[in-house]
Structure 1
């Protein structure tokens, strides 16, 4: 597989020359300065691509060309927004960029409650505490009926949190869930938002009456509209699984398991409609057998995210060591090296190591933590390829 790295542009604290030195071949990036729904100009795409190529790298994958909320919930302006999206795809195609990772998650791109959950060795990683998220829904958002979505065990923990959380803890929880995990990925809410909770509530209200079937139909409508330009320029669209892969905030999630992925690929049965196989997101659902999913969907996978999670029975999960956890990355790599080699893959959500602290990296996107993971995964890839060559 091609070794790629998510890079957040010229504002990223990690420089392109640093990436080339550690064996990165391709860059996964986006025009983060352009607001959701606006057209990506061809000149801007070419300038961005040239900068990457001047460092001896290639722009391998766009992650992400964001899908506007109105497209997801079927707003009045969705056709205009889809036309803008098609124009952006056409400009990417003219620039020779052929792989686009996107998601169809309502409001929240990905959700974590703790951005610096400490391990025994002093490193830290992202963590999802289901009781904390329930507290956020019930007592901060005050979402009507939220209590019905949680077990009595979780609600008991929520009662304990209600007694123990300080005002600073609550502010940190709001920052983690609404702002920090969203703002740097073309999110709906950016750093410095004066009232993020109120804006978040307004976004949620747009999905009133949207159930799983309707969200699916809106995704199908979107894909059918963009497939002609994808065929014209040979652009591979690859949807990212929902993170975490189950309903949140009373909103439907539609890319969570085998049945969802089957539906998606069959609903628009076009070779340009594919999957970003994120082992980490899929592993956070205890019902998912990640290597089996990799085997089944290998041929329709266009891009691979390699990370893993450890999951407790109550739904809490933490980013695992890249050689451990439910993601079973060794088995996943074996599948893709056999069934669909040369796919771009990137390491995802590395730990924050001691010398990463204070460097201003985006949550989950440390330098040393991801470099460690890249070294581990590169070793697995080399071992897999060596064994395959011996058998051949």
Structure 2
């Protein structure tokens, strides 16, 4: 596997010289200053590429070239936006950048309710509390029919929470769910936006009447339009699983399971229509057998995210240590090193540790926490390679 690192451009507090020192080989990044739907100009692509090369690294993966909402819900601008997307792919292909990670999640990317959930050892990590999320859904958003998505027992807990939750806690939920986990990844909402709840509710309304089948067909159309240019330039499109991998906020989610992935890969059955295998996202769903999925989809995987989660009986989940949890990362390394060994891999969602929390890093993208995880996984990879060479 190629050891890569998600880096947020020249303004990232984590610098490329720092990454060289910890053994990173390839960079995963994007043109984060370009608004969704606009063409990535050749000059901007090449400027960033040469900056990376100048530090002894290379631009391994684009994560991500965002898919505009209108493409997902099938708006009037769909064809114009797809044409812009295709032109950006052409420009990336001509610059020699051949792997693009993207997602097809409506409105919202990954969802957590706590960005600094404490562990007994003094570190902290991302956490999803189902009851607090249900409170956000039912009482802060006030989404019509939201209570039907939760059990009677869960709603009883939500009503209990409503009696004690403070205004500060409500504001923190809004900031965490809508703003902080979205705004730094070409999100629909960014830091400083006024009344993010109103913006968010308006975005949700765009999907009224859009079900899973409609979203699937819109994705099929999008990918079918891209494949000719992908074939011409050898560009791999790698869809990222939904995080968490189940329906939320009344929105359809279509990359949640082995069945979903199988549908996508067969709907546009082209080797350039591939998968980002995110063990963390997939492991957050109890219905997913992550190692079995790795074996099943290894040949169509083009990029790997190695992180893990632990899921609790009440539906809560937490980012697990990288050598523990439902991600089974040691087994995944065995599988991918055997089935598809040259893939780019990055660790993900490292803990906050050793002062990471004071540095202003993007949520989930600490330095020391990810460096520690990378060292662990590097050791696993080296061990697996050694064992394989002796067999």
Kept after mapping to 2: 8 A contact 1:122/1:354? no
Q: Which residue number corresponds to residue 274 of structure 1?
A: 274
Alignment partners' CA distance in 1, 2:11 and 2:312: 36
Question: Which position in structure 2 is the counterpart of 1:137?
Answer: 137
Partner of 1:85: 85
Report the counterpart of residue 348 of structure 1 in structure 2.
Answer: 348
Deviations 1:324-365 (A, max 9, x none): 000000001100000000100000000000321210100010
Unaligned runs of 5+ in 2: none
Deviation at 1:315, TM superposition (A): 1.5
Any idea what the Cα deviations from partners look like across 1:202-232, whole Å, max 9, x if unmatched? 0000000000000000000000001111001
Whole-angstrom CA distance in 2 between matches of 1:160 and 1:384: 49
Question: Partner of 2:189 in structure 1?
Answer: 189
Q: Could you say which residue in structure 2 is the equivalent of 1:372?
A: 372
- Within 1, Cα distance between the matches of 2:153 and 2:320? 25
1:1-392 equivalent positions in 2, closer than 5 A: 1-391=1-391
Divergent runs of 4+, >6 A: none
RMSD: 0.5
Q: Is contact 1:39–1:87 with CA below 8 Å preserved after alignment? A: yes
- How far did 1:287 drift? 1.1
Name the SS of the counterpart of 1:310 in structure 2. Answer: strand
Which segments of 5 or more consecutive residues in structure 1 lack a partner in the other structure?
Answer: none
Q: CA deviation at 1:233?
A: 0.3
Secondary structure at the aligned position of 1:106 is classed as: coil
8 Å Cα contact 1:245-1:256 kept in structure 2: yes
Query: What TM-score does the superposition give when structure 2 sets the normalisation length?
Result: 0.99
Distance (whole Å) between structure 2 residues aligned to residue 390 and residue 164 of structure 1: 60
Q: Report the 3-state secondary structure (helix = DSSP H, G, I; strand = E; otherwise coil) of the residue aligned with 1:163.
A: helix
Q: Secondary structure at the match of 2:185?
A: coil
Look up the SS of the partner of 1:333 in the other structure. helix
Secondary structure of 2:355's counterpart equals: helix
SS in 2 for 1:357: helix
State the Cα deviation string for residues 229-262 of structure 1 (Å, max 9, x = none). Answer: 1001000000000000000100011001110000
Measure, in 1, the Cα distance between the counterparts of 2:160 and 2:389. 56
* Residue 11 of structure 1: how far off its partner (Å): 1.3
| In structure 2, distance between residues paired with 1:187 and 1:122 | 31
| CA–CA distance in structure 2, aligned partners of residues 294 and 157 of structure 1 | 37
Does the CA-based 8 Å contact 1:238-1:302 persist in structure 2?
yes
**Separation (CA, whole Å) in 1 of partners of 2:49 and 2:164:** 50
Within 2, Cα distance between the matches of 1:192 and 1:266?
41
* Kept after mapping to 2: 8 A contact 1:27/1:59: yes
**Distance (Å, rounded) in 2 between the aligned partners of 1:196 and 1:129:** 21
Q: Aligned pair count?
A: 391
In 2: Cα distance, 1:152 partner to 1:311 partner: 21
